[in-house]
């Protein structure tokens, strides 16, 4: 569609005839995400606040549709790459964030860690090196002041502020550790996402939300007992990238609900359904 035709459509967005304005919105949405740059330009030049509001709604709908499409493609992909999944989640709130930029930022953290890392170190000492770089040198840590902020679930925000929730801190830690060839994976513990270092000789656990604190299986058993829960194998063993992204989406739903942003919470619930078997939202 020519720019002049798009311009004409936008001019009809505030038509008093609701049928016409509704038809115009449907027509613009049918153009897909390619219409977003034009709509953004129109928003800047338009002086009618009602039209601006409708343009904002159209842009959000198109961007949200793109997030859904990307998430469905990711869900159907054989590898379900973790960083890609977390990037897609972040584009819900930050549609312009680029995956390549996140890769470069993680590469820098890896490089800073690699400079001090030695593969011949004992497992505990390898973890202590990562802890030293991530939590002491780079000052990553728990966002305890604004624990329920939606930004805590956005990997781009956490990479920028160095503050996050258990799952995003674990994801960053895990991606760096795995690039260093360490057998570190995520564990879906109730109320707290953690990591496990697991190979043929060792298995112990790491709490990235508490500066990389190392603890044992017995500590998890005690924690489960305190929560009055029945122990499950999943509380001790590695989980998949899919489970991690699902949990990050559930965290985001909770954050938006705590902030009173119920429309956003509902949209993220739909994203969660897209990657849940049989529409099961999980717990």
Per residue, what are the HEC states of 28-53? HHHCHHHHHHHHHHHHHHCCCHHHHH
User: Is the model more confident about 60 or about 85?
Assistant: 85
CA 81 to chain centre: 12
Least confident segment among 34-38, 76-80, 171-175: 34-38
Q: Provide the mean pLDDT of the chain.
A: 90
Residue 152 has pLDDT above 70, yes or no: yes
Count of C-beta atoms within a 10 Å radius of residue 13: 22
Q: What is the pLDDT of residue 125?
A: 97
User: Is the model more confident about 141 or about 41?
Assistant: 141
Q: What span, in angstroms and rounded, lies between the C-alpha atoms of 1 and 7?
A: 10
Band of the pLDDT at 16, cuts 50, 70, 90? low
- Work out the average pLDDT over 223-237: 94
Band of the pLDDT at 228, cuts 50, 70, 90? very high
Residue 157 has pLDDT above 50, yes or no: yes
φ, ψ (nearest 5 deg) of residue 2: -70, 155
Residue 276 has pLDDT above 50, yes or no: yes
Do the Cβ atoms of 232 and 188 come closer than 8 Å?
no
Q: What is the DSSP letter of 138?
A: S
- Work out the average pLDDT over 96-109: 97
Count of C-beta atoms within a 10 Å radius of residue 192: 17
Q: What is the DSSP letter of 190?
A: T
User: Is the model more confident about 45 or about 273?
Assistant: 273
Residue 82 has pLDDT above 60, yes or no: yes
Residue 262 has pLDDT above 80, yes or no: yes
Q: Which two tokens stand for residue 22?
A: 């509704």
Q: What is the pLDDT of residue 259?
A: 94
Q: What is the pLDDT of residue 57?
A: 87
Q: What is the pLDDT of residue 198?
A: 96
Q: What is the DSSP letter of 277?
A: G
Structure confidence by residue, pLDDT tens digits, 172-220: 999 999 999 999 999 999 999 999 999 999 899 999 999 999 999 999 9
Do the Cβ atoms of 18 and 54 come closer than 8 Å?
no
Band of the pLDDT at 283, cuts 50, 70, 90? very low
Structure confidence by residue, pLDDT tens digits, 107-135: 999 999 999 999 999 999 999 999 999 99
Q: What is the pLDDT of residue 17?
A: 64
Residue 20 has pLDDT above 80, yes or no: no
Residue 43 has pLDDT above 80, yes or no: no
């Amino acid at each position: 569609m020519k720019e002049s035709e798009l311009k004409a459509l936008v001019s009809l967005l505030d038509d008093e005839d609701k049928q016409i304005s509704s038809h115009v919105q449907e027509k613009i949405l049918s153009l897909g995400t390619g219409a977003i740059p034009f709509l953004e330009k129109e928003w800047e030049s338009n002086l009618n606040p009602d039209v601006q509001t409708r343009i904002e709604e159209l842009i959000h709908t198109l961007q949200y549709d793109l997030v859904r499409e990307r998430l469905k493609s990711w869900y159907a992909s054989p590898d379900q790459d973790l960083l890609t999944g977390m990037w897609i989640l972040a584009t819900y709130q930050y549609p312009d964030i680029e995956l390549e930029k996140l890769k470069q930022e993680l590469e820098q953290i890896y490089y800073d860690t690699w400079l001090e890392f030695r593969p011949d170190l004992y497992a505990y000492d390898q973890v202590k090196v990562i802890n030293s770089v991530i939590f002491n040198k780079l000052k990553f840590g728990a966002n305890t002041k604004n624990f329920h902020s939606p930004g805590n679930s956005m990997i781009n925000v956490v990479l920028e502020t160095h503050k996050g929730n258990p799952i995003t801190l674990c994801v960053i830690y895990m991606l760096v550790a795995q690039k260093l060839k360490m057998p570190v994976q995520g564990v879906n513990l109730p109320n707290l996402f953690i990591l496990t270092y697991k190979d043929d000789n060792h298995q112990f656990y790491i709490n990235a939300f508490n500066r990389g604190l190392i603890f044992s299986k017995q500590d998890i058993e005690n924690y489960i007992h305190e929560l009055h829960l029945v122990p499950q194998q999943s509380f001790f063993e590695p989980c998949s990238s899919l489970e991690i992204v699902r949990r990050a989406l559930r965290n985001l739903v909770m954050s938006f609900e705590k902030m009173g942003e119920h429309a956003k919470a509902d949209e993220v619930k739909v994203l969660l359904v897209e990657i849940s078997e049989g529409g099961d939202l999980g717990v």
